[in-house]
Amino acid sequence: MLKKIALEKLGDLVSALMEKGPLYAPVKGEKAVDFQEITNPADVILDFYNTAMSPKFAFFPQSEDLIRYRLGKEATESEAVSLDAKPSVILGVRPCDAKSFEIMDRHFLGAGIIDPYWNDKREKTTIIGYAFDPSTAADPADFYNTLGISASDTAGSDIFMIRTDKHLLFKGITEKGDRLLKELSVLEAGSKTDEKTFEDKAKKGGEVKTRFMEIQDKAVAGKLVQVFNNKEFWEKATAACISCGACTFVCPTCYCFDISDETLFRDGVRKRFWDACMFTDFTLEASGHNPRPRIFQRYRQKVCHKYSYHVDKYGCISCVGCGRCTRSCPVNIDIYSIIESASKL
């Protein structure tokens, strides 16, 4: 199904989406653009490259309450926080990020245990993907082509949006997407010409070139096992790393979390919240022993998890080449360059 709306009517579309439930869309902050829950339709912008933070927060918020409890003298009362995600929409997800949701699904849904928190929000959310503008060069940090993703890839989106000079075109990709398109009466039906325009524009997306190297999931996974013990290589590659958590927190495919009980007087909450393998205390054991005391060991874990262990366990690389880790690294460590040099060893 193909629908369209005139560019200047974006506000009407946003209002219509907001009536259906929470809407997350790109908003310009002081410097960066990020997804926010929209309260004022005029805040939504479509002129941006990509958001600083990834949209993973919509299904995997940085902090999430699991259990509320009250400590008693004899017994503790507790109650699981109920799952009550509202049907929502994320508008303007770039193709690499849309793809990241499918990768995260393998872990949160496909590993034998279903994560109810991820599942609840994921099921009720409709994703409107948004092609990168083919007339803008890819950011030098990006390498989504390497992971087989194009600037107009529809994989992972329920609806895919392409902007033309005067219109926004919407194509239903999944049943869920088609359903939403049908319900939105502000949209006009697309004509045969519009369909042709959509196809042409989508094809143009294939011409956007990011950094690219030929990689094969299994081969790179094996290669990293082989260079695991090459201490010199890892030390050199990560010499500048300051071991912060920026690269993993901005990453759409990093899913590590910690759980802790936070109690104030007698009332407390058990929550889960993002954690990062780059933090010194990530692997710190109660005995005081830390199996990964060195920075190179922690960075190696990050790379090997994404490009090796994840391939063995879930059958794909856990990286979409969105370039965020490189862009937000305070010292410009670049995972692409590291994979490239490891492959040549």
| 211 makes contact with ligand SF4 (CB under 6 A) | no
Contact pick of 173, 325, 339, 342 for ligand SF4 (by CB under 6 A): 325
State yes or no: residue 256 binds other proteins (CB under 8 A): no
The least distance separating other proteins from the CB of residue 28, rounded to whole angstroms, comes to 12
Rounded to a whole number of angstroms, the CA Rg of the chain reads 22
Collect all residues with Cβ–Cβ distance below 8 Å to 283 and sequence separation of at least 6.
277, 290, 291, 292
- Range in contact with ligand SF4 (rule: CB under 6 A) among 110-118, 189-197, 263-271, 331-339: 331-339
Can residue 53 be called a binding residue for other proteins (CB under 8 A)?
Answer: yes
The reply on whether position 131 binds ligand SF4 by CB under 6 A is no
Site for other proteins in 180-239 (CB under 8 A): 239
Rounded Cα distance between 144 and 129, Å, is 15
Which amino acid is located at 214 in the chain?
A: E
**Residue from 43, 331, 341, 345 binding ligand SF4 (CB under 6 A):** 331
| Near other proteins by CB under 8 A: residue from 101, 249, 255, 299 | 249
Show the site string, 111-140: x = touches other proteins by CB under 8 A, - = not. Answer: -----------------------------x
Instruction: Candidates 1, 52, 184, 246: give the one binding ligand SF4 (CB under 6 A).
Output: 246
Under the binding rule (CB under 8 A), the answer on residue 326 touching other proteins is: yes
Single out the segment in contact with ligand SF4 by CB under 6 A; choices: 19-27, 35-43, 218-226, 315-323.
315-323
Of the residues 281, 287, 289, 291, which one makes contact with other proteins according to CB under 8 A = 281
* Minimum distance, C-beta of residue 54 to ligand SF4, in the bound complex (Å): 7
By CB under 8 A, is residue 104 in contact with other proteins?
no
Does position 247 interact with ligand SF4 (CB under 6 A)? The reply is yes
CA dihedral 191, 192, 195, 197 (to 10 degrees): -100
Residue 252 engages ligand SF4 in binding (rule: CB under 6 A): yes
| Residue 335 binding ligand SF4, by CB under 6 A | yes
- Candidates 93, 304, 319, 338: give the one binding ligand SF4 (CB under 6 A): 319
Binding residue (CB under 6 A) for ligand SF4 from 38, 104, 173, 320 = 320
Instruction: Give me the phi and psi of 12, to 5 degrees please.
Output: -65, -40
Contact footprint for ligand SF4 (CB under 6 A): 241-244, 246-247, 250-253, 278, 306, 319-325, 329-331, 333, 335
